[in-house]
Amino acid sequence: MSTLLENLNWRYATKKFDATKKISESDLNTLKEAVRLAASSYGLQPFKVVIVENPELREKLKAEAWGQTQITDASHLFIFANDLNLDSKSVEAYIKNISETRGVPTDALGGFSDMMNNVISNLSNEAKNIWTSKQTYIALGTLLSAAAELKIDTTPMEGFSPAAFNEILGFDKLGLNAVVVATIGYRHDEDDSQHYKKVRKSQEELFITL
């Protein structure tokens, strides 16, 4: 646990990446697996994670992200997009996955299925999209922690135009909506931010014990 805390203290929102350094395929797969294993309400995972490597595409995205160089200089760009079409078919696919993974008959999962369908059907489209958007942040947090464990730098970013990202990436046709992005790579030696002490509230100020 002490190593985890050291690594969380080590990480920061990297302002300048070294564009010459790339993440290994092995480390990239580890990060992907960490995101896959992230917590999610009911385990539904109502989102997709799009990894953009194409340089030309990333240049277009940078223009819609206030020109922030992390978009193009980082080794990889992760885009977390929530599912705009979460419905009974999504639940059915999840139930099938549970059945196959755990060797449980689908009939035995009827109660769980009905409960999820009842919750989803009673949500307005706006409420449903807010809920699925929130799920992406849980996965993002897991990615940040996993990257820190590997001494890989990250920058979570909300400073972009979701509508423009959706259009460039064709998300509208896929029923997806860009929520938050994370640039992944290695800090540049000239990034002064790496030398700043981390500023956080004290435990006494942050936590309330009742």
- Output the pLDDT for position 117: 98
CATH of the domain at 72: 3.40.109.10
How far apart CA 137 and CA 158 sit, in angstroms, is 11
- Output the pLDDT for position 2: 76
Q: With a cut of 70, which residues of the chain have pLDDT below it?
A: 1
Instruction: Examine residue 206 and state whether it is found in any structural domain, yes or no.
Output: no
Q: How far is CA 152 from CA 169, 176, 184, in A?
A: 26, 28, 7
How far apart CA 90 and CA 83 sit, in angstroms, is 10
Instruction: Examine residue 25 and state whether it is found in any structural domain, yes or no.
Output: yes
How far apart CA 30 and CA 10 sit, in angstroms, is 19
Instruction: Examine residue 120 and state whether it is found in any structural domain, yes or no.
Output: yes
How many separate domains does the chain show?
1
Instruction: Examine residue 202 and state whether it is found in any structural domain, yes or no.
Output: no
- Output the pLDDT for position 1: 66
How far apart CA 91 and CA 74 sit, in angstroms, is 36
